Structure 1
Amino acid sequence: MGMGIVYALAAGLMWGLVFVGPLLLPGYPAALQSVGRYLAFGLIALPFAWFDRAALRQLSRADWLEALRLALVGNLIYYLCLASAIQRTGAPLPTMIIGTLPVVIAVSANLRNARRDGRLPWARLAPSLLLIAAGIACVNQVELAALRHDPDADLTRYAGGVMLALLAVACWTWYPLRNADWLRAHPDRSPRSWATAQGVATLPLALIGYALLWGGMEAAGSGFAMPFGPHPMAFVGLMAVLGLCASWLGTLCWNEASQRLPTALAGQLIVFETLAALAYAFLLRGEWPRPLTLAGIALLIAGVLWAVRVRPEPVVATEHGA
């Protein structure tokens, strides 16, 4: 349990980087940032694939198809939606919408995986979920108040960003549940090699996406300087950092956590990503969070600390006799 929590914390610290990436390259299309990040992830995974070649050979065709599905939904589509949302609304609002994931995943896993992982008692889980939800509400209140006082705010653009962030939540509710299914079904397999397999599966998807995006922009007569945009060194450098830290290392740490923790508890620990993303966003803004934001962060932390004290109870199968 202890090492599982440490791995979840490390994954959150690295995943938080993806919330500031779109703000560092505001003139770059979100689609280009998505395929660029995962092209870097796929290329970084190739040398690791060589070292893990023996383990990767053990993967069946069904395993590779699952890695491909996880890569498509949990990587490319998720980050496309998230980067688009951040460019429309700024980082804090999508961060807190994504911050609902601990609640959504915990509830989904408790309904879906109780027989496998044990059931976290709702009565003992409820205070944790309420604390996390209250923390999210506090931070959202601050961001919405700032939006109402901004005379230049484009409400339609913000609404679109909110919808994209909700779609990202749907993608990343599906991803950890399915990823945990595979890891728990294959306890003898290395989480590192499974992270590498997802990187390898991402590479062809990212290459196809990059080619389609480039061709589409050329056909539309876009003046955007492909393939690396107007700031190629900044773009390539940022994509490499995100590909290594947020994608490969983050996925590795999350896989390690998923093999050690019940899915419902691991889902709540995604709150570390939210806290890291908020810290990075406010550092980038160069301002200190407001008191209500700090109260919300404290509530999030309290919810996590409460959650790690809850232990799953085995579910006794009901026998039906004639």
Structure 2
Amino acid sequence: MAIDHSAPHTATTHTIPLGFLCGAGAGALWGLVFLAPEFVHDFTALQLAVGRYLVYGALASILIVPRWPDLKRHIHQRDWLALFWLSLFGNTLFFIFLSQAILLGGVALTALIIGFLPVAVTLIGSREKEALSLKALAPSLFFCLAGAISIGWQALTAPGSAQQSPLAVFYALAALASWTIYTVGNSRRIKQLRGVSLHDWNLLMGLATGAQAMALVPFAFMWGQPGHTTPQWETFVAVSAAVAIIASFSGNALWYQMSRLLPLTMTGQMILFETLFALIYGFLWDWRLPHSSELAAFFFLVLSVLTCLSAHRPKNVHRHATSSQQSAEI
């Protein structure tokens, strides 16, 4: 059934607990993506991205068939244009930029830069109507920055750490910009949907992303790529399908629900869950305990989310809205 919100969301109507749980769930599923390359060493990041999004697109195509007769009446040219750009920045380009940054500069440097995403989104979100002020969000932003720095500190200062490539910084910054554009644009777009449910939006995003993946097939598989054995292809297909279903389909569905429930100033903070879960999965994969700087990162990131939640408590939001209204009247 389509979800239609005839009135715009305000800070006092956001369902914070449910949105928080959806954001945490999305981060838990997205964090698994960082383990995917460990299973397919013989394939490039571009090949893994194309495989992932081809499966995502195929799954979306199958599931959207029974919905299409009703859905096509609500989808217009501007919606397809929005889907193209959002899927480009949020899926295709972001994954390619992120993979290149990790390849050239390592996980630490990439995580350090991507860790500033909540700050970028929160700064943009603070300009939204009835949004909390930067002063109210300052503690959360501080802990976010501290956590981002702590994430990369251990590897960046470890003996024998490789010289970081300037190109790695460029790709990491490009990934940061790409995901910021997507997060802000998608959060605003889905709150304007009429006659299109969040499930439908997820399927439509899959169609757009799958089409882009098909366009990249020649670059990923046909030009100058080494051959692979049958077992390697079987593993690649299995990993691509798993990542598509777990991260692209299920993770995105939770993220879209969260984006509709939470204000933009809080949406950015929820991406910290992906970082937290990625670190947890990494420790389990390496079968080791976290170092002191990694424990500090956990501590700061958890504090960032908790202080953000505290700032968005209904009484704080109501107080801010009343103060803004009084200032406007003066």
What is aligned with 1:135? 147
Percent identity over the alignment? 30
Deviation for aligned residue 1:16: 0.8
What is aligned with 2:55? 40
Work out the CA distance in 1 between the residues paired with 2:270 and 2:164: 32
What is aligned with 2:290? 289
What is aligned with 2:174? 167
Question: Following TM superposition, where does structure 1 have runs of at least 4 consecutive aligned residues deviating by more than 6 angstroms?
Answer: 317-320
Task: Write out aligned runs for 1:12-161 (5 A).
Answer: 12-53=27-68, 54-111=70-127, 114-115=128-129, 118-146=130-158, 149-150=159-160, 153-157=161-165, 159-161=166-168
- Structure 1, residues 110-156: CA drift from partner, whole Å, max 9, x if none? 13xx22xx22122221011101111121222112112xx11xx5425
Q: Which amino acid aligns with 2:137?
A: L
Which is further off, 102-111 or 242-251? 102-111
- Gaps (5+ residues) in structure 1? none
Work out the CA distance in 1 between the residues paired with 2:300 and 2:138: 14
Deviation for aligned residue 1:96: 3.6
Q: Is the Cα–Cα contact under 8 Å of residues 48 and 240 in structure 2 kept in the other structure?
A: yes
- Structure 1, residues 141-200: CA drift from partner, whole Å, max 9, x if none? 112112xx11xx54254x433332221111000001111111111265311110110001
Work out the CA distance in 2 between the residues paired with 1:239 and 1:174: 25
What SS does the aligned partner of 2:187 have?
helix
CA separation of 1:319/1:229 partners in 2, compared to 1, >3 Å: closer, same or farther? farther
What SS does the aligned partner of 2:42 have?
coil
Q: Is the Cα–Cα contact under 8 Å of residues 142 and 292 in structure 1 kept in the other structure?
A: yes
Q: Which amino acid aligns with 2:218?
A: A
Work out the CA distance in 1 between the residues paired with 2:231 and 2:171: 26
CA separation of 1:229/1:176 partners in 2, compared to 1, >3 Å: closer, same or farther? farther
- Structure 1, residues 287-317: CA drift from partner, whole Å, max 9, x if none? 2110221011111001101101113444559
Q: Which amino acid aligns with 2:111?
A: T
What SS does the aligned partner of 2:310 have?
coil
Work out the CA distance in 2 between the residues paired with 1:261 and 1:41: 26
What is aligned with 2:10? none
What is aligned with 2:187? 180
CA separation of 1:11/1:187 partners in 2, compared to 1, >3 Å: closer, same or farther? farther
Structure 2 residue 258 is matched with structure 1 residue 257 = yes
Work out the CA distance in 1 between the residues paired with 2:33 and 2:174: 16
- Gaps (5+ residues) in structure 2? 1-15
What SS does the aligned partner of 2:131 have?
coil
Q: TM-score, normalised by structure 2?
A: 0.85
- Structure 1, residues 203-247: CA drift from partner, whole Å, max 9, x if none? 111111013333332xxxx4x126x88711111111101111110
Question: How many pairs does the alignment contain?
Answer: 305
